[in-house]
Amino acid sequence: MSTGQNVLGRGDVAMGMASFGKALSAKTPPGVIDIEEVSSLTNAVLAMWIGTSTRAQMDAWMPKIAEQLNALVGQELGQQEDEHVRWLVDKGRSLIESQPTAQTAAFGVFTYLRDAALLMRRLLWVYAEQNGVRTP
């Protein structure tokens, strides 16, 4: 999904009462971002292929993606001053709130994971720029 659009607007991903991101927010202290872990995680998710990835494999990535995405959107990334950063953070919150459910088709889960991983890379870049650190 290189266009920056995702499939959430088409109803492919159902909203759940409680998301992984909400459940894990207490575990992820604000201000703690492991750049290498986020990079490794996004690389692994983006390396998946729809034809060779099982639903169980995709479901296994959901808690990790949700935890790290939740940590990134919880950062002060300059969203008050920068409209683009604000859009990225809002997009991240939208993804956290609309995670796939057990009823979501495998393709919906796959595209959700890709959307989240691509967004996480962008947020990680902003985080690194704001904090003067390098990304792997």
Domain boundaries, the chain: 11-131
CB 96 within 8 Å of CB 19: yes
Query: How far apart (Å, rounded) are the C-alpha atoms in residues 133 and 108?
Result: 34
Mean pLDDT of 21-30: 42
Whole-number Å distance between alpha carbons of 21 and 2: 24
pLDDT band for position 16 (cuts 50, 70, 90) = very low
pLDDT above 50 for 24:
no
Interatomic CA distance for residues 58 and 104, integer angstroms: 12
**Chain position carrying tokens 């808690």:** 63
Angle at CA of residue 115, ends 94 and 55, nearest 5°: 105
HSE-CB for 64 with a 13 A CA cutoff: 17
Percentage of residues in the chain having pLDDT higher than 90:
55
- pLDDT exceeds cutoff 50 at 34: yes
**Hey, how many other C-beta atoms are within 10 angstroms of the C-beta on 101?**
14
User: Confidence class of residue 18 from pLDDT cuts 50, 70 and 90?
Assistant: very low
Mean pLDDT of all residues in 119-131: 90
Whole-number average pLDDT of the chain: 78
Cα gap 100→98, rounded to integer Å = 7
On the question of pLDDT at 135 being above 80, the answer is no
Rounded mean pLDDT, 61-86 = 89
Mean pLDDT of 53-78: 90
User: CA 68, CA 101: separation in Å to the nearest integer?
Assistant: 19
Report whether pLDDT(28) > 70: no
CA angle 127, 18, 42 (to 5 degrees): 35
* Predicted TM-score of the model (pTM): 0.74
